[in-house]
């Protein structure tokens, strides 16, 4: 039996192995049984359902062992399988998918790309089993899209009797999951050479202050923090030794943007399924809503969007599995899936009528959450400019 039915129109799941599908099936059952019933309540309260974290971790989401049937833990999971795990989470809830990709995508990529071989040997097993939880702290209050040039958090190297340390000063904004993390991967500019360097900062270190960003109207379950760093001391051993300039950070962003394209695809699948089920059950004018031509046109457009997005991310992931990583490739996937997502969730909301603005149906949550996904990991404009630069050879980022 197929896991994804109509929302995987061209049967992309046939690219998965039987074992991979079985783990995804277990994830599906857990989400349906334990997560779905409580999501609206947590969303409304603006809290993350932390009781779901450990059971999700226990499902071996990062590197499934499966008694050796899947790849051993030491080698990364297949991209396509990783993509479907994100898809499955996002099709249930965008905050759950964001929580997962914060560790499995953002933080893990910071270690994979930024840490030296010795550091990776020490940290990676803990990253994979979530015993070292981390977040990616790049954006600043005054620098979002122009973070490459505008990054102003500083790092100053000092010699002490116990070895070299770095002193960090500045602020970071929007950092997802920071309040429950063990360490913050912080990117700061070395005052000596002006280059961006990376550091793992203990969340409880002296000088680290976290403030929850309140009043969010999107991704309300996901906790985002405003972080202030005041003379925070970090030992040289906790510097990410392979981050020597913003180029190295850009290499991380390239890998992470594809995860967001999978999230944008999963959100569409969730919204489409919820709307389809609604119009099948609700009657107006003595007939099911789904029997009207105008409703069917909207359903067809939504399915077209989901199918186009899934085809796009599957192909991108296949390219990446071959080692082809270009800025413009993941930028295109992020930009296009998010454009389609905005239309899909708006159509879903429309089909559910007045009930589409309450948390009673899942549609309102998908509709609201899509807005944050549209903006994070490079806005539409920034990803379009990355593609434009590749097409024309001219960077239009700054006048």
Residue 218 Cβ, how far from ligand FAD at the closest point, in Å? 7
Residue 143 Cβ, how far from ligand FAD at the closest point, in Å? 7
Return d(Cα 188, Cα 195) in angstroms, integer: 8
Q: Which is nearer to ligand FAD, 46 or 353 (CB)?
A: 46
Bridge partners, 225 (sequence order):
175, 212
Please state at what angle helix 380-392 crosses helix 327-351, rounded to 10 degrees. Answer: 140
Cβ neighbours for 346, distance < 8 A, ≥ 6 positions apart? 367
Query: Beta strands of the chain (E only): which ranges?
Result: 134-137, 154-160, 163-176, 183-190, 196-202, 208-212, 224-235, 239-240, 283-284, 287-288
Residue nearest to ligand FAD (CB): 144
Q: Which is nearer to ligand FAD, 263 or 372 (CB)?
A: 372
Q: Which is nearer to ligand FAD, 118 or 142 (CB)?
A: 142
Residue 372 Cβ, how far from ligand FAD at the closest point, in Å? 4
Residue 321 Cβ, how far from ligand FAD at the closest point, in Å? 25
Long-range contact pairs involving 272-277 (C-beta distance under 8 Å, separation at least 24): 272/7, 272/299, 272/302, 272/303, 272/306, 272/344, 272/348, 273/6, 273/7, 273/91, 274/348, 274/352, 274/361, 274/362, 274/363, 274/366, 275/299, 275/302, 275/347, 275/348, 275/351, 275/352, 275/363, 276/6
Q: Which is nearer to ligand FAD, 84 or 374 (CB)?
A: 374
Residue 278 Cβ, how far from ligand FAD at the closest point, in Å? 27
Q: Which is nearer to ligand FAD, 138 or 208 (CB)?
A: 138
Joined tokens for residue 399: 């006048």
Q: Which is nearer to ligand FAD, 140 or 362 (CB)?
A: 140
Residue 327 Cβ, how far from ligand FAD at the closest point, in Å? 15
Q: Which is nearer to ligand FAD, 211 or 381 (CB)?
A: 381
Return d(Cα 27, Cα 23) in angstroms, integer: 6
**Do the bridges between strand 196-202 and strand 239-240 make them parallel or antiparallel, or are there none, so unpaired?**
antiparallel
Q: Give contact residues for ligand FAD (rule: CB under 6 A).
A: 135-139, 144-145, 174-176, 219, 224, 372, 375-377, 379, 381-382, 397
Residue 57 Cβ, how far from ligand FAD at the closest point, in Å? 19
């Amino acid at each position: 039996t197929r896991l994804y039915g109509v929302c995987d129109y061209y049967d992309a799941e046939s690219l998965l192995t039987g074992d991979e599908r079985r783990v995804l099936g277990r994830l599906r059952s857990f989400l349906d049984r334990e997560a779905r019933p409580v999501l609206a309540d947590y969303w409304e309260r603006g809290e993350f359902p932390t009781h779901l974290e450990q059971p999700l971790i226990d499902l071996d989401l990062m590197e499934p062992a499966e008694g050796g049937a899947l790849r051993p833990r030491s080698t990364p999971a297949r991209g396509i399988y990783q993509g479907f795990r994100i898809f499955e989470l996002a099709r249930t809830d965008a905050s759950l998918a964001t929580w997962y990709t914060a560790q499995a995508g953002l933080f893990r990529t910071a270690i994979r790309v930024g840490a030296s071989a010795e550091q990776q040997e020490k940290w990676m097993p803990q990253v994979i089993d979530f015993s070292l939880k981390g977040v990616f702290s790049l954006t600043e209050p005054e620098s979002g899209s122009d973070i490459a040039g505008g990054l102003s958090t500083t790092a100053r190297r000092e010699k002490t009797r116990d070895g070299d340390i770095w002193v960090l000063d500045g602020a970071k904004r929007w950092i997802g999951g920071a309040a429950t993390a063990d360490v913050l991967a912080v990117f700061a500019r070395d005052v000596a050479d002006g280059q961006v360097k990376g550091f793992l900062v203990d969340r409880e270190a002296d000088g680290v202050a976290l403030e929850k960003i309140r009043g969010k109207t999107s991704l309300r379950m996901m906790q985002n923090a405003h972080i202030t760093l005041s003379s925070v001391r970090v030992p040289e051993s906790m510097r990410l030794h392979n981050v020597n300039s913003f180029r190295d950070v850009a290499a991380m962003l390239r890998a992470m943007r594809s995860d967001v394209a999978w999230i944008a695809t999963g959100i569409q699948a969730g919204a489409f399924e919820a709307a389809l089920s609604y119009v099948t059950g609700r009657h107006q004018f003595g007939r099911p809503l789904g029997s009207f031509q105008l409703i069917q046109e909207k359903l067809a457009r939504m399915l077209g969007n989901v199918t186009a997005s899934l085809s796009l991310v599957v192909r991108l992931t296949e390219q990446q599995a071959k080692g082809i990583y270009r800025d413009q490739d993941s930028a295109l996937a992020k930009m296009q899936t998010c454009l389609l997502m905005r239309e899909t969730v708006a159509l879903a909301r429309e089909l559910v009528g007045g009930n589409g603005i309450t948390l009673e149906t899942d549609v309102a949550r998908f509709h609201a959450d899509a807005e944050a996904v549209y903006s994070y990991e490079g806005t539409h404009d920034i990803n379009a400019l990355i593609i434009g630069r590749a097409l024309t050879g001219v960077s239009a980022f700054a006048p």
